[in-house]
């Protein structure tokens, strides 16, 4: 593993807050075709709602922080581990870090871990995403 990749492990990303709004649940449900009434009314969130938080929350461009060549970047994997419940109206604090970085088959892999805390300080979700940069 190159030193520069190893140096990225443990790197802290921007911490930000995000207010969960029912209208965003409706927008996501319509976009993905999951038309459950509770999603359309904004009463509950589709399981992949944290993707909305990733797109709309914070101001930091993780690819820029990692100094990735966007012409060679692929989205590898996404996983959500719910350890609590996220509800419309919640204000979440999201803390992220580079959990792992390694090279395999002429590609760099970056595993980004994010922890989502509700306004009570309770951990409600852990997400992991893998970004791949081809050489």
pLDDT single digits (tens) 79-105: 999 999 999 999 999 999 999 999 999
Q: Closest Cα partner for 130 from 77, 64, 65, 63?
A: 77
Give the alpha-carbon dihedral of 42, 34, 95, 9, to 10 degrees.
Answer: 180
What integer pLDDT is reported at residue 2 of this predicted model? 56
pTM (two decimals): 0.91
Q: Is the pLDDT at 57 greater than 80, yes or no?
A: yes
Alpha-carbon gap, residue 59 to 52, rounded angstroms: 14
CATH fold, domain 3-134, is Thiol Ester Dehydrase; Chain A (3.10.129)
What integer pLDDT is reported at residue 125 of this predicted model? 98
> How many CB atoms sit inside 10 A of residue 20's CB?
21
Beta-bridge partners for 116: 94, 125
Q: Is the pLDDT at 3 greater than 90, yes or no?
A: no
Summary mean pLDDT of the chain: 95
Q: Is the pLDDT at 1 greater than 60, yes or no?
A: no
Band of residue 4 on the pLDDT scale cut at 50, 70, 90: confident
């Amino acid at each position: 593993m190159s030193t520069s990749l190893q140096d990225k492990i443990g790197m802290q990303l921007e911490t930000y807050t995000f207010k969960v709004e029912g209208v965003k649940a409706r927008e996501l449900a319509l976009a993905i075709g999951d038309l459950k009434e509770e999603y359309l009314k904004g009463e509950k969130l589709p399981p992949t709602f944290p993707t909305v938080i990733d797109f709309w929350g914070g101001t930091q461009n993780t690819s820029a922080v990692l100094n990735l060549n966007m012409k060679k970047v692929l989205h590898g994997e996404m996983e959500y581990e719910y350890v609590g419940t996220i509800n419309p109206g919640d204000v979440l604090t999201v803390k992220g870090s580079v959990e792992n970085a390694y090279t395999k088959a002429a590609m760099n892999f970056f595993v980004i871990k994010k922890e989502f805390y509700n306004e009570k300080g309770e951990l409600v979700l852990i997400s992991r995403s893998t970004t791949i940069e081809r050489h």
